[in-house]
Structure 1
Amino acid sequence: MIRSVLTGTGSALPKRCVSNAELSETVDTSDEWIRERTGITQRYIAGEGETTGTLATDAARAAMADAGIAIDDIDLLVLATATPDNTFPATATQVQAALGGRGFPAFDVAAVCSGFLYALGTADSMIRSGMATRALVIGSETFSRILDWDDRGTCVLFGDGAGAFVIEARDMGGLPDPDAAGIIATRLHAEGEHSELLYVDGGPSSTGEVGKLRMMGREVFRHAVTNLSAVLTEVLGDAGFEAGDIDWVVPHQANSRILDATARKLGLPMERMVVTVDRHANTSAASVPLAYDVARRDGRIKPGDLVMLEAMGGGFTWGASLLRA
């Protein structure tokens, strides 16, 4: 019985930090309006020379350093992003090259804000099947490049950043111990019928242009709370745990209201939710690994803790993964 164990984490942010006050100088909004509705106080915006690929590379380097390994020890790279550097090649291959790797599979996964959960589930499955032994799993985004800066309902919500995990195969020797480190259970879902509620109005095959993000905020909120609470319950059932057993929930950092509502629906105190949306805003596929890295490095997440990761994004796609740190 093989289990994928998390051995290193890392993250990266652009150099430029943009406060609500600075944003209100160019957008018809205010610090009070943004804080009240989202909990966001600032976000990081990619500048010249900073791309999804460069942020992913920096996060990957930090994760490998944390794990005490080099790129030659990696045999799989999965990158979750909705904002690739190019239509093709996959940004993952560019990150591979920047890290000095070669030969092993490297590919992108596109599931928007749920992308990291999809990428982690994919890498975990490949490790369990024996196709890989040690993987870099990255979420990286430059959502600032697809925002309509005249739409205050969306442009205030997002930021740029990257987060990365190193996971590796560990032989459990038989039936896995529920107290042993590693990824315990994952569930992934999608419902394409709701795609018009959160989407980008362009693409190579449809308009020939990148397009801008469009969102029906109230409808997304309603689906997010329902879907996330349901998938968390599914994963707990698969793993044989209850909500009260969870030490930490590392959620997709969409906005503080969704986090509050999800915690209430599960009967969990907000003190068990890792919250970074206030300083990073919504970084889409980067938000879960970025938040995890912050909480692990500041001492909140400790070895042996039971941690639930969850996210929902455009598509709709959503998922959750339970792991022992």
Structure 2
Amino acid sequence: MNSYSKIIGTGSYFPSKILTNKDLEKFVDTSDEWIVTRTGIRERRISEDKTTSEMAYEAAIKAIEDAQIRKEDIDGVIVATCTPDSLVPSTACYLEGKLGIKGPFAFDINAACSGFIYSLAIGDSLIKNNLANNILIVGAERLSSIVNWKDRSTCVLLGDGAGAVILSKSDKPGVRSLLLHADGEYTSLLECKAGGSTFLSNREDFDIESNLFSMKGNEVFKIAVRAMADVAVKAVEESGLNFEDIDFLIPHQANLRIIDAVAKRLKLDSDKVIVTLDKFGNTSAASIPTALDIARKNGKIKEGANIVSAAFGGGLTWAATVFTI
């Protein structure tokens, strides 16, 4: 009998505080029109009190309930994040402690915005190698903590939130293809040095603001459009499905122009593209699982739908997957 990994439950969480483009106009030299025209973002959520692991917990509980399994049935926890609670221990260990489960493996993955698909690939491999039956995978980010609020080119982009899935062993096709890529030549195009060992080793001369999240937007945009479109097309080609079989595209929610370019390459109409960045901004590793959960919970995506997801982030990293929900 064939063994597959399949997403059987989803959950998401966003902080209650809404920061609109109009709010940003009050302390940053920008405008609602400028932000919407260039990105498609209208507002984002900001966590005032919850840590990354606390947001991950809220999303995880919903995913566990949706999957109709017990917390004790979870064999492992993988958290995709570039904004961990701390360097040590991992956010996944904090999350496991909050869930009150003992024994399952727990670790973090940092592939920036591609982190959720990277984590899905690891979970898929562990399940297919009989090392787990049920894995909790969470993409969680508190990006507001690493934003330079004086940098108008980046602070308008990012938001906080968490999305979770339960990936389980199944005799029915779930994850159909996975592609993971990176190119370290472009590390300087998108980075946050604050908090790393290189930054912390120079404690006598802390300059936090200039070491927070930074991005060379135009260069990243050019590479992202091509890379995301190419990897999404290849993921479909390797999935065993035809392009006509794809019901939805759930892209990383970074920029509406990038999303439109990927959809065009896949020849998908706009009603088959899941877009949430207008309300939540770019939530990095959380963007795909939260978009999936929202689309499932509002009835747009139903059981049996074939979905292609693609992401692009710092590293530079990019990835894609095709799965049946």
User: Aligned partners of 1:110, 1:226: CA distance in 2, in Å?
Assistant: 22
Question: Residue 158 of structure 1 aligns to a residue in which SS?
Answer: coil
Matches within 5 A, 1:14-93: 14-48=15-49, 50-93=50-93
Give the whole-Å Cα distance in 1 for the aligned partners of 2:173 and 2:22: 43
Consecutive unaligned residues in structure 2, runs of 5 or more = 201-205
Displacement of 1:243 after TM fit?
A: 2.5
Distance (Å, rounded) in 2 between the aligned partners of 1:90 and 1:16: 26
Is the Cα contact below 8 Å between 2:176 and 2:240 reproduced in 1? Answer: no
Deviations 1:197-230 (A, max 9, x none): 1111334321117731111111111111111111
Q: How does 1:165-184 map to 2 (within 5 A)?
A: 165-170=165-170, 172=171, 180-184=172-176
Identity of aligned residues (%): 43
Per-residue Cα deviation, 1:205-262 (whole angstroms, up to 9, x for no partner): 2111773111111111111111111111221121222333210010000011111111
Report the 3-state secondary structure (helix = DSSP H, G, I; strand = E; otherwise coil) of the residue aligned with 2:197. Answer: coil
Q: Distance between the aligned counterparts of 1:17 and 1:181, measured in 2?
A: 38
Is the 2:187–2:315 Cα contact (8 Å) retained in structure 1? yes
Counterpart residue type for residue 37 of structure 1: R
How far does residue 63 in structure 1 lie from its aligned partner after superposition?
Answer: 0.3
Q: Find the residue that maps to 1:241 and give its secondary structure.
A: coil
Any idea what the Cα deviations from partners look like across 1:78-136, whole Å, max 9, x if unmatched?
A: 00000000011001000001001110101000000000001111011100100000010
Worse-matched range after superposition: 200-209 or 58-67:
200-209
Q: Distance in 1 between matches of 2:225 and 2:243?
A: 16
Map of 1:175 onto structure 2 = none
For 2:239, the equivalent position in structure 1 comes to 239
Contact 1:181/1:304 (CA < 8 Å) preserved in 2? no
User: Take 2:318 and 2:196, find their aligned partners in 1: how far apart are those partners?
Assistant: 25
Residue aligned with 1:154, SS: coil
Tell me the CA shift for residue 264 of structure 1: 1.7
The 2-side partners of 1:52 and 1:324 are apart by 28
Contact kept, 8 Å, 2:232 with 2:262, in 1: the verdict is no
Determine helix, strand or coil for the equivalent of 2:199: coil
Match of 1:176 in 2: none
Provide the secondary structure at the position in 2 that maps to 1:95. Answer: helix
Residue aligning to 1:108 = 108
SS at match of 2:198: coil
Matches within 5 A, 1:275-314: 275-314=275-314
SS at match of 2:154: helix
Deviates more, 1:227-236 or 1:86-95: 227-236
8 Å contact from structure 1 (residues 114, 318) kept in 2: yes
Letter in 1 for 2:29: D
Residue 190 of structure 2: aligned partner: 198
Rounded to whole Å, the distance in 2 between the matches of 1:5 and 1:266 is: 23
Q: Any stretches of 5+ residues in structure 1 without a counterpart?
A: 173-179
Alignment-derived partner of residue 11 in structure 2: 10
Amino acid at match of 2:28: V
* Per-residue Cα deviation, 1:19-71 (whole angstroms, up to 9, x for no partner): 111121111111111111111111000102x1111000000000001111221
Provide the aligned length of Structure 1 versus Structure 2.
Answer: 316
Question: Is the partner of 2:44 in helix, strand or coil?
Answer: strand
Check if 1:217 corresponds to 2:217. Answer: yes
Q: Are 1:39 and 1:278, in contact at CA under 8 Å, matched by a contact in 2?
A: yes
Give the corresponding residue for 1:265: 265
Q: Which residue of 2 is the match for residue 124 of structure 1?
A: 124
Q: Secondary structure at the match of 1:94?
A: helix
Shift of 1:181: 4.2
CA RMSD of aligned residues (A): 1.2
- Three-state SS of the structure 1 residue aligned to 2:38 is helix
Partners of 2:298 and 2:12 in 1: CA distance: 13
Counterpart of 1:239 in 2: which secondary structure? coil
Q: What letter matches 1:27 in structure 2? A: V
Q: TM-score, normalised by structure 2?
A: 0.95
Q: Which amino acid aligns with 2:15?
A: P
| Deviations 1:247-304 (CA, angstroms, capped at 9, x unpaired) | 0010000011111111122322222110000000000000000000000111111111
Contact 1:162 1:290 in 2 (8 A): yes
The residue aligned with 2:203 is none
**Residues 159, 281 of structure 1: 8 Å contact kept:** yes
C-alpha separation in 2, matches of 1:17 and 1:169: 38
Partner of 1:95: 95
Which residue does the alignment assign to 1:185? 177
SS of structure 2 residue aligned to 1:64? helix
3-state SS of paired residue (2:137): strand
SS of residue matched to 1:303: coil
